[in-house]
Amino acid sequence: MSESPIFIGGLDRSGKTLLRLALSAHPNIALTRRTHMWTDFYNRYGDLTDLANFERCLQAMLDKKAISVLLPDEDRIRREFLQGERSYPRLFELFHQHFAEKHGRRRWGEQEALIERYADPIFQAYPAARIIHMIRDPRTQYGETLQSTNVRVRLGKVGSKCGLWQYSAELAHRNRSHHSGRYMVLTFEYLMTDPERALRDVCKFIEEDYFPAMITFDGTIRFSAGKDADPLPSQGWPDSRIKQGFSSPGILTIREIRFIETVVRREMAENGYDETHVRFSVFDQFLYYFELPFNLVRFGGITKFRV
């Protein structure tokens, strides 16, 4: 079994896609995206040494659009799987490994939101794997989410988003401690403000040489089908994506900023994010405490996606 795959995790709007595009410009690396193999298939079809279970799982994977775009060879996957270890990680690896071979790359990997939930089984299956966990200021991350999804009803929304951000940040802290040397936490802000230095750090972490093509995206592997096409910048590194969404008028309310800075203060400090110490008018204070129960319920009730 391959022992050096690369996984990119973290929440949406945290820079995962940009990092994948940069790493996919590396001549040795082929990264896929959002196949949901671990979330949708891991341990879901029983023991794969049972051929009936294996066939059910394989057909379900082949039917999934995000996996079918990899153009897998069903017969080859079946043949090679039955010749080796019959486990879920082994089956997942075959899809990724064959995709990397098609692109002339020797190393495979995956971009998947919240893949950090599976750090323990991933490292058990691939002892030399590397996981890069992208994290972003929760205020800007929430602000860009609002802009991208055009949310109309926001009552309680910041609570659920904060709960998910806290969960991911807790996993970043836990996994970095438990898997020292194999788990990297990279902030969106560092990647955006000093991309070459950040990518050099990433290359050192994954034990690969740095290539300037990673900044220009020259030769990167893209997924361009449909409305979910990769947003590859046309002129180098997209500096314009450095956004301070929480301070821009009309994006986040000062009540949402206060809520975020209150409930995830510790996790923000751990990742180097300062508070703004917003000030309330009497009316804003009234609205804050009116919205607070809705936000706290959504914050406390966020599903933790336990593996």
Residue 288 covered by a domain: yes
Residue 15 covered by a domain: yes
Domain that holds residue 80: 6-300
Is the pLDDT higher at 236 or at 29? 29
Residue 26 covered by a domain: yes
Tens of pLDDT, residues 218-238: 889 887 655 556 665 555 566
Strand, helix or coil for residue 73:
coil
Residue 307 covered by a domain: no
The confidence score (pLDDT) of residue 278 equals 80
Tens of pLDDT, residues 7-26: 999 999 999 999 999 999 99
**CB–CB of 57/47 below 8 Å?**
no
**Residue found by looking up tokens 């595009």 in the block:** 21
The confidence score (pLDDT) of residue 246 equals 45
The confidence score (pLDDT) of residue 282 equals 87
The token pair that represents 149 in the structure block: 């999804």
Residue 18 covered by a domain: yes
Tell me the CA end-to-end span of the chain in Å, nearest whole number: 23
Tens of pLDDT, residues 99-118: 999 999 999 999 999 999 99
Instruction: Give CA–CA dist 120/305, Å, rounded.
Output: 14
Domain of 95: which CATH number?
3.40.50.300
Is the pLDDT higher at 44 or at 224? 44
Residue 231 covered by a domain: yes
Closest CA to 174 of 15, 6, 62, 9: 9
Rg (alpha carbons) of the chain, rounded to whole number? 21
Instruction: Give CA–CA dist 306/134, Å, rounded.
Output: 19
Residue 12 covered by a domain: yes
Instruction: Give CA–CA dist 155/288, Å, rounded.
Output: 11
Residue 1 covered by a domain: no
For the chain, what is the domain count?
1
